[in-house]
Structure 1
Amino acid sequence: MTTLASRALSRRSPKAPPLDGVAHPVLQRVLSHRGLVERERDLGLAGLLSWRELKGIDAAAACLADALAAQQRILIVGDYDADGATGVALAVSALREMGAQAVDYLVPDRIKLGYGLSPALAELALSRTPDVVVTVDNGISSVAGVARLREAGVAVVVTDHHLPGDTLPAATAIVNPNQPGDGFASKALAGVGVMFYVLAALRHELQARDYFTQRGLQAPNLAAHLDLVALGTVADLVALDGNNRRLVEQGLLRMRAGCARPGLAALIEVSGRKAAELQASDLGFALGPRINAAGRLDHMDQGIACLLAPSLTQARPLAQGLDQINQQRRAMQTEMQDDAIARVEVEDSDAVALCLHDAGWHEGVVGLIASQVKERFHRPVIAFADAAEGMLKGSGRSISGFHLRDALALLDARHPGLIDKFGGHAMAAGLSIRKADLEVFSQAFVAVCDETIDRALLEAVWLSDGELDAATLSLDTVTALRQAGPWGQGFEDPLFDNVFEVRRQRVVGSGHLKLRLGLPGATQTWDAIAFGVDERVQAQQIRLVYQLDINDYFDPPSVQLIVRGQVA
Structure 2
Amino acid sequence: MPERHLVRNLAGDLDISPLLVNLLWSRGVRTAEEMDLFLSPGLRHLAQPEQWCGLNATGEVIAKAVAQGRKPAVWGDYDVDGITSTALLLLFFKARGVEADHHIPHRQTEGYGLNNAGIEDLARRGIGLLITVDCGISHLPEVTRAKELGMTVVISDHHLPGPDLPAADAIMNPKIGDCPCPNLAGVGVAFLLAAVLNRMLPGEPLDMRQFLDLVALGTVADIVELTGQNRILAKNGLTMLKEGKRPGIMALKEVCGYKPGAVLDEDRVGFGLAPRINAAGRLGHAETALRLLLARDMTEARELAKELDGYNTHRRGIGKEIQEEALRLALEQKGRFGLVLHAPHWHEGVIGIIASKVAETHYRPAIILTDHESGHLKGSGRSIPQFSLYEGLVACQHLLEGFGGHSQAAGLRLHRDDLAAFQEAFNAAVSQALDNIPPTPTLILDAPLSFGEIDYDLLKELELLAPFGADNPKPLFLSPSVTVRNRKPVGADHVFLDLRDDKAEVTMRAKAWNQAANLPRSVTGKPMLLAYTPKFNEFNGVTSIELALRDWALQG
1:343 to 323, 329, 341: 329
Match of 1:265 in 2: 250
Note if 1:306 corresponds to 2:292.
yes
The equivalences for 1:145-160 within 5 A come to 145-160=142-157
2:478 to 485, 497, 500: 497
Match of 1:225 in 2: 211
Match of 1:109 in 2: 106
Q: CA deviation at 1:294?
A: 1.0
Aligned residues of 2:355 and 2:366 also touching (Cα < 8 A):
yes
Match of 1:390 in 2: 375
TM-aligned CA distance change 1:30 to 1:331, over 3 Å: farther
Percent of pairs with identical residues: 38
Aligned residues of 1:14 and 1:33 also touching (Cα < 8 A):
no
Distance 2:507 2:540 in 1: 16
Residues 501-560 of structure 1: CA deviation (Å, up to 9, x unaligned): 222223223532222222255653222222233424343333332222222215642111
Distance 2:300 2:486 in 1: 46
Distance 1:457 1:28 in 2: 35
1:470 to 424, 427, 451: 451
Note if 1:480 corresponds to 2:492.
no
Q: CA deviation at 1:454?
A: 3.8
Note if 1:118 corresponds to 2:115.
yes
Partner AA of 1:33 in structure 2:
S
Partner AA of 2:301 in structure 1:
A
Match of 2:490 in 1: 508
Match of 1:98 in 2: 96
2:44 to 43, 46, 52: 46
Residues 294-350 of structure 1: CA deviation (Å, up to 9, x unaligned): 1111111011111111122321121121112111112222222222223323x2223
Distance 1:509 1:317 in 2: 30
Q: CA deviation at 1:22?
A: 4.3
TM-aligned CA distance change 1:474 to 1:111, over 3 Å: same
TM-aligned CA distance change 1:383 to 1:21, over 3 Å: same
Aligned residues of 1:55 and 1:183 also touching (Cα < 8 A):
yes
Note if 1:374 corresponds to 2:349.
no
TM, length-normalised to structure 2: 0.92
2:171 to 170, 174, 179: 174
Partner AA of 2:445 in structure 1:
S
Match of 2:16 in 1: 23
Q: Which stretch of the first structure deviates more once superposed, 149-158 or 494-503?
A: 494-503
Distance 1:303 1:154 in 2: 27
Secondary structure of the structure 1 residue equivalent to 2:539: coil
Aligned residues of 1:400 and 1:457 also touching (Cα < 8 A):
no
TM-aligned CA distance change 1:337 to 1:15, over 3 Å: farther
Secondary structure of the structure 1 residue equivalent to 2:377: strand
Aligned residues of 1:381 and 1:396 also touching (Cα < 8 A):
yes
Partner AA of 2:388 in structure 1:
H
Match of 2:390 in 1: 405
Aligned residues of 2:337 and 2:438 also touching (Cα < 8 A):
no
The equivalences for 1:122-271 within 5 A come to 122-179=119-176, 182-206=177-201, 211-212=202-203, 218-256=204-242, 258=243, 260-271=245-256
Q: Which stretch of the first structure deviates more once superposed, 536-545 or 369-378?
A: 536-545
Q: Which stretch of the first structure deviates more once superposed, 190-199 or 328-337?
A: 328-337
Q: Which stretch of the first structure deviates more once superposed, 432-441 or 124-133?
A: 124-133
TM-aligned CA distance change 1:70 to 1:484, over 3 Å: same
Higher relative contact order (CA 8 A, sep 6+): 1
Distance 1:164 1:564 in 2: 37
Distance 1:330 1:564 in 2: 24
Q: Which runs of 5+ in 2 are unaligned?
A: none
The equivalences for 1:268-307 within 5 A come to 268-274=253-259, 275-307=261-293
Aligned residues of 1:83 and 1:235 also touching (Cα < 8 A):
yes
Q: CA deviation at 1:493?
A: 1.3
Note if 1:550 corresponds to 2:536.
yes
Note if 1:315 corresponds to 2:277.
no
Aligned residues of 1:513 and 1:529 also touching (Cα < 8 A):
yes
The equivalences for 1:74-93 within 5 A come to 74-93=72-91
Aligned residues of 1:329 and 1:365 also touching (Cα < 8 A):
yes
Match of 1:3 in 2: none
Partner AA of 1:29 in structure 2:
N
Partner AA of 2:449 in structure 1:
L
Aligned residues of 2:54 and 2:172 also touching (Cα < 8 A):
yes
Aligned residues of 1:502 and 1:541 also touching (Cα < 8 A):
yes
Match of 1:5 in 2: none
Aligned residues of 1:188 and 1:241 also touching (Cα < 8 A):
no
Aligned residues of 1:289 and 1:326 also touching (Cα < 8 A):
yes
TM-aligned CA distance change 1:382 to 1:567, over 3 Å: farther
Residues 167-215 of structure 1: CA deviation (Å, up to 9, x unaligned): 1110111100112xx1212001000000111111111222xxxx11xxx
Distance 2:254 2:460 in 1: 23
User: What RMSD over aligned residues (CA atoms) do the two structures have, in Å?
Assistant: 2.1
Secondary structure of the structure 2 residue equivalent to 1:342: helix
TM-aligned CA distance change 1:99 to 1:357, over 3 Å: same
Distance 2:349 2:74 in 1: 22
Distance 1:124 1:57 in 2: 28
Aligned residues of 1:54 and 1:177 also touching (Cα < 8 A):
yes
Secondary structure of the structure 1 residue equivalent to 2:453: coil
Match of 2:346 in 1: 361
Q: Which runs of 5+ in 1 are unaligned?
A: 1-12, 213-217
1:419 to 382, 400, 408: 400
Secondary structure of the structure 2 residue equivalent to 1:170: coil
Distance 1:194 1:108 in 2: 20
Aligned residues of 1:248 and 1:280 also touching (Cα < 8 A):
no
Match of 1:452 in 2: 433
Distance 1:466 1:336 in 2: 39
Question: What is the aligned length?
Answer: 538
4+ residue runs over 4 A deviation = 13-17, 520-523
Aligned residues of 1:226 and 1:251 also touching (Cα < 8 A):
yes
